[in-house]
Structure 1
Amino acid sequence: MSFTIDAKLVTDTIRLGSFPLCDLLLMNDSRFPWVILVPKIPDLQDFHEIPTEFRDVLFQEIEATSNAIQKLWSVDKMNVAALGNQVSQLHIHVIGRRRTDDAWPSPVWGHGTPHPYTTADRPNVVQSLAEELKLRD
């Protein structure tokens, strides 16, 4: 079976590029620095299903994403989560949080109305993240 990204993730995000294991997506909500990693392994739903040989790579990619968000946005706290209640395909949220953000200290999910990146800001954010993460197309 071939790998495809769930339609809801595609609709809600902007593609950044690829790591060796994961495709990276930027959540199209400028209120939060929020990247989603989607392992390019078909039919994964939960962490415990990740093949052993890919677990270290996944952790390294989560770490690199967290470091990039911290460097580019100087956040107060990193949130890393894989919920899967709305999208069953395994995807990992890496979200930079500030004590002054719209949702603090609550979770970002379902809080307020998303603010999509403007056409002026979007290319700069995508390019900065892609360069910091050294992503492939």
Structure 2
Amino acid sequence: MPFALDDRLARDSKPLLTLDLCEVRLINDSRWPWLLLVPQRDAVTELFELTPLDQTMLTFEQMTVSAALRRATGALKINVGALGNIVRQLHVHVIARNEGDANWPGPVWGFGQAVPYADGAEQDFKQRFLQALYP
């Protein structure tokens, strides 16, 4: 079966780039620089369901994206999580956090209403992130 992105992930995020394993997507909420890594494997809901090679690749891509996100944002903390309680399709959240951001130090999930990126701000973020990823 070909890879298909969960409808909710597609609705809440926008494609940023594709790595060897994962599609990297930007959550459309400007309160936090918030990325998703979605392994392009069909019917996978848990990390342990990936092959050992895919597990290694996911770890590598998550570390690479996390480091680039920190460089792009100067964030104090990078939060990483794979919950899957609402959206079952395996995906990893990578979120840049700073003291004083919305709901610091609490979680981003379920806090307030999303604030979509304004014109130009999304493109600016993408440019900074890609420059940090590929210096």
Bin for the TM-score computed over the shorter chain: over 0.9
Structure 2 gap segments, 5+ residues each: none
CA shift, 1:68, in A, is 1.0
Relative to the length of structure 2, the TM-score reads 0.94
RMSD: 1.1
Q: Deviations over 1:58-100 (max 9, x none)?
A: 1110011111111011111111101111110000000111111
Q: 2:69·2:132 contact (CA, 8 Å) conserved in 1?
A: no
> Could you list the runs of 4 or more consecutive aligned residues of structure 1 that deviate by over 3 angstroms after TM superposition?
none
Q: Partner of 1:74 in structure 2?
A: 74
What is the distance in 2 between the residues matched to 1:72 and 1:2?
A: 33
Alignment of 1:120-131 (within 5 A): 120-131=120-131
Q: Partner of 1:58 in structure 2?
A: 58
Letter in 2 for 1:106: G
Query: Quick check: 1:92 aligned with 2:102?
Result: no
Structure having greater relative contact order (Cα 8 Å, sep ≥ 6): 1
What is the distance in 2 between the residues matched to 1:66 and 1:53?
A: 20
Q: Partner of 2:39 in structure 1?
A: 39
Q: Residue 16 of structure 2: SS of its match in structure 1?
A: strand
Q: 2:31·2:101 contact (CA, 8 Å) conserved in 1?
A: yes
Aligned residues: percent identity?
Answer: 37
